[in-house]
Chain A
Amino acid sequence: MSRPSSAPRSPFVVPAWIAAASLLGLVSALLGDGLFDAVSWLIFAGLVALAVRAWVKRTR
């Protein structure tokens, strides 16, 4: 029997992943240029996109 696709068991699962990704983004650009910078940009662009999506949903 599969678990219904509802909210994660702990409300902290997604925040923990986001925090881990943020740390990766912060450190990545410190470690090198090129690909390392790109990883950092992608992660933070993703975070900003998440926030923008939330704002748009709220004002709809």
Chain B
Amino acid sequence: MLFAVAIISGLVLYGPFMRKQPFGTLRTGRSRRLAWLDLHNVLGVVTLGWALVVGITGAINTVAKPLEQAWQGEQLGEFAARYAGQPRPTTLASLQAAVDTARAAEPGMRPAFVSFPGTGYSGDHHYGVFMQGNSALTERLYRPVLIDAQTGALTAQPQLPLYMSVLLLSQPLHFGDYGKLPLKVLWALLDLLTIGVLISGLYLWFKRGNTDARVSEIERAARTGVAE
């Protein structure tokens, strides 16, 4: 989240420094700090949208565990209540039959994984067959199909709550594990560019001078579009 805040603060400062400069201006003939400032601005703006999405989705991913627990408590609690007082099944129905039932219930999807009773994802009395779609988007949005582990009967197909859909969609947007190899390579290059923004930002910080000088620099840049 701090990363996202840093990006937005950089965008706020971008305005006064670049007001009268064409996009991509690199003033290399003057001071070294000015050249680094311009490079920092260009690299920062080029990576802006991508880095902001990666930062925000990263923040969402940090609360993945509590969100999963909330989902389990919310939906599984409802099913657990229906089976309250009943002992855990001692003999389990056929796993293949459970998967086949789930396939029939969700014909446009394929099974991604199956949770066994008592493992936390489908309560103590159900197989949870987690189905996924066939497109890059829908393969992230699991659809659980709950199968009674004793009888093999279909119990429910609960919808994922919105917060789980947001979490599951935020994962590829944070990790970049989609779009095949070329996107992964480009993702790595954008990572390197972001490191470049960080390094140039650190350089500018260490060469910042005193507070009065920085304030007058921003004021002068806002007035004339020239920074030194």
Contacts and interface: CB of A to CB of B under 8 A. Distances in A.
A52 to B, nearest CB: 9
B18 A23 contact: no
Nearest to B36: A58
B39 A44 contact: no
Interface in A1-54: 6-8, 11-12, 14-15, 18-23, 25-26, 29-33, 36-37, 40-41, 44-45, 47-48, 50-51, 53-54
Given A11-B15, A15-B14, A48-B189, A29 B39 contact: no
Interface majority SS (helix, strand, loop, mixed), chain B: helix
A47 B46 contact: yes
Interface residues of A, number: 36
Given A11-B21, A26-B173, A54-B42, A47 B50 contact: yes
A37 B179 contact: yes
A21 B48 CA distance: 11
B24 interface: yes
A15 B28 contact: no
B45 A14 contact: yes
A55 B23 CA distance: 14
Interface in B166-216: 169, 172-173, 178-180, 182-183, 186-187, 189-190, 193, 196
